Structure 1
Amino acid sequence: MSFHKEKLRVLFNRRRGSLSLRERTSASRQICRKIITLHFFNLSQNLAFYKAYNGEVNINIVLTKAQKMGKNCYLPVLHKQCLIFYSYTRNTLVKNHFDIEEPDVSQEKSIYLNNLDLIFLPLVAFDEKGHRLGRGGGHYDQSLKSLKNQYLKKPVLIGVSYECQRINKIPVERWDIPLDLVITEKTIYQFS
């Protein structure tokens, strides 16, 4: 199955890469406008974001808006094979070995996943059931597995994607956790 997933990653990374900078910028703005009007967004206090990489949807507008609204904003930091979410302060970002900006862990505080209200996730592709195909490192899967515990509060998982990244079906592994929503420039997909 991982071979099939890898072929899908190549295909959908190419598809995303074929979008011009103008198309990506326009789509990112449309997606940000949709996010800001979301009921979930406006009610949430603790939100986890990501820094766009390799043509992913840029949601920095939402991050800035959330901070202006007094919300607590977090970004993932790669630690071993897992992501730990640390508070976001623009002045304390450093680049990791993938060249992605993340908080300086010596200066920021982390938060437990079950204390987050929303997590925005980048993706390579998504399907009609809310399954997400990520970059292939398994970092989000490894980090989110604790959410399978039915006794913990689960944050709303929101995939952020271009419409061209939608597929009918993604091969699913037992550890995969489906998204609650996916937001594209065209629409908002709600699952379960």
Structure 2
Amino acid sequence: MNIKEKKIELRRQAEAVRSAITEEERLRKSEIISEKLLKRLEKLLKPDPTVRRKPTLFTYMPVKTEVDVTPVLEACWKRPWRVVVPKVIPAYKQMKLYEIKSYVDLERGNWGIREPVAKAPQLFDIRQIDVVIVPGLAFDLRMGRLGYGGGFYDRFMQQYVRTGLPKPYIIAAAFEEQLVDEVPMGLFDFRINELVTEERCLTEGGAVCRE
């Protein structure tokens, strides 16, 4: 099997595993994960007196059986942080980022995913992003990530590679069931910095990070 075929098969398996988690369990675990994420963000998004802008978080809007990170959003809105979420542009296979300050700034978009409304302010300078919370189907202890196959996040991260800019700190929110032995990684796939599940908080090599 080549890498593309391996990814397709792993996506099928990972989708089935995550879908098998009951809604009650998913909500319970999501709540625990959100609490852990918030503790990490409190440390990672500390305001820098030498920088004028607000600490900035780029996060996803959960859909279907993904980890529900909306409690993180709600907590962020009460803090001196800027929150940006993506709007998918299918024709160009890109994501554009917009700042949201409440649920009023969101509407249903492609694939039923909540996206920023048209009047939301757009973030053009990716250097201003400090932390990214990414979704995914499967992850491994080497911080490999298996996405959904659209390549939107991979293309976004490639902007940093092409321009030589340092990437923001990348955290994945996942259920413990989503951990696998190995995620097949291609040339343009990116690795995360940290994985947060309902049971643990991991960095590369399986090291447990402090919350």
Is the CA contact 2:131–2:168 (under 8 Å) kept in the aligned structure 1?
A: yes
Counterpart for residue 137 of structure 1: 150
Q: Which runs of 4+ in 1 moved over 3 A?
A: 41-44
Name the aligned partner's letter for residue 44 of structure 2. F
Counterpart for residue 134 of structure 2: 121
Whether 2:76 is the aligned partner of 1:46: answer: no
Is the CA contact 2:98–2:120 (under 8 Å) kept in the aligned structure 1?
A: no
Unaligned runs of at least 5 residues, structure 2: 48-53, 206-211
Which moved further from structure 2: 106-115 or 96-105? 106-115
Question: What's the CA shift for 1:111?
Answer: 3.7
Counterpart for residue 82 of structure 1: 94
- Number of aligned residues: 192
Counterparts of 2:94 and 2:169 in 1: how far apart (Å)? 19
Unaligned runs of at least 5 residues, structure 1: none
TM-score of the superposed pair, with normalisation by structure 1: 0.93
Is the CA contact 1:86–1:105 (under 8 Å) kept in the aligned structure 2?
A: no
Q: State the superposition RMSD in angstroms.
A: 1.7
Question: What's the CA shift for 1:92?
Answer: 2.6
Corresponding residue SS for 1:24: helix
CA deviations over 1:38-70 (Å, ceiling 9, x no partner) = 122455810011111121000111111111012
Percent of matched pairs sharing the same residue: 23
Is the CA contact 2:18–2:178 (under 8 Å) kept in the aligned structure 1?
A: yes
Question: What's the CA shift for 1:131?
Answer: 0.9
Higher gyration radius (CA)? 2
CA deviations over 1:100-153 (Å, ceiling 9, x no partner) = 011023432224322100010001000111010011111111111022257413
